[in-house]
Amino acid sequence: MVNINYSYRGECFLGETLRIITAPVKRGHKSFVLRHEIIKQDGSTPIDGLATCLIMDMKAHKAIPVPNWIAEHFPD
């Protein structure tokens, strides 16, 4: 990840049933953005935000194009 931006609006406690949603938002040539939400049983969203991810060639230490198996999950 190269950038994480989450908004904290409330607490989550041990033992609570939570729904975690991760959804594709936007894709660039070498990066993509995912939206994350934590939703409580009462429907409130105590935490949500965006994470920008980058695909790296670990040997070359350089960003590479987003692979098709990831890209296919994003809207055009």
Check residue 75 and give its pLDDT: 81
Nearest C-alpha neighbor of 31 from the set 54, 48, 8, 11: 54
Look at residue 66 and tell me if it is in a domain. Answer: yes
In a domain, 76, yes or no: no
Q: How would you write the pLDDT of the chain (76 residues) with one tens digit per residue?
A: 899 999 999 999 999 999 999 999 999 999 999 999 999 999 999 999 999 999 999 999 999 999 999 999 998 7
- Domain count of the fold of the chain: 1
pTM value is 0.86
Residue 36 falls inside a structural domain: yes
* 8 occurs within a structural domain: yes
> Is 58 part of a structural domain of the chain?
yes
Domain housing 52: 3-71
Burial of 37 per CB tally in 10 Å (0-12, 13-18, 19+): middle
CATH number (domain holding residue 30) = 3.10.129.10
